[in-house]
Amino acid sequence: MQKSKSCNMLVVWLSLLVLTGCQTGQTLDNQSDNPLAAKQTNYSVIDQDTLNGDIYNQFEDIVDVTSISNNDELIMAIKVDQLAQFNEQKIAKEVQSYLKKSNEDIKPKVSSDLKIYIEIDRLKQQLADQDLSKSDFDKLFDEIIQLIEGK
């Protein structure tokens, strides 16, 4: 009798401990509410967050934007919604002409290619981790430009 009573008390206390620990409201998900808010880590004076948000708001078919810049050059990759995928290259050209008109100081290159999007994000991650020197960044930046021009 004494043994079962102590086992029951142990189960109750462990249950209370687990329930109390789960009530703190902490989650593992720490993503930002703004999907376009990325830390600007590049070698340029262009404010990419503002520029990305502007493009995202101006073009309704665009669902995601990423960009990286070096000096006065800007590489931007866009993702469009499924219904607009047939016109994604046309949308990319419209975005590029919009960027040229809105800011004449930059030389934009816009792509709707997923590979370019992934390469930009990879380069941004390397910059955020501070794994790149300026010369390595320039080399990788130029490689992405070559990918865009070689399509």
Domain ranges of the chain: 43-149
pLDDT in tens, 14-56: 777 777 766 655 554 444 454 444 444 455 656 778 888 888 8
What is the model's pTM? Answer: 0.67
- How far does Cα 100 stand from its chain's mean position? 23
Mean pLDDT score of the chain? 81
Q: Could you identify the residue written with the tokens 């990879």?
A: 122
Q: Which CATH class is domain 43-149?
A: alpha beta
pLDDT value at residue 1: 64
| 100, 72 Cβ separation under 8 angstroms | no
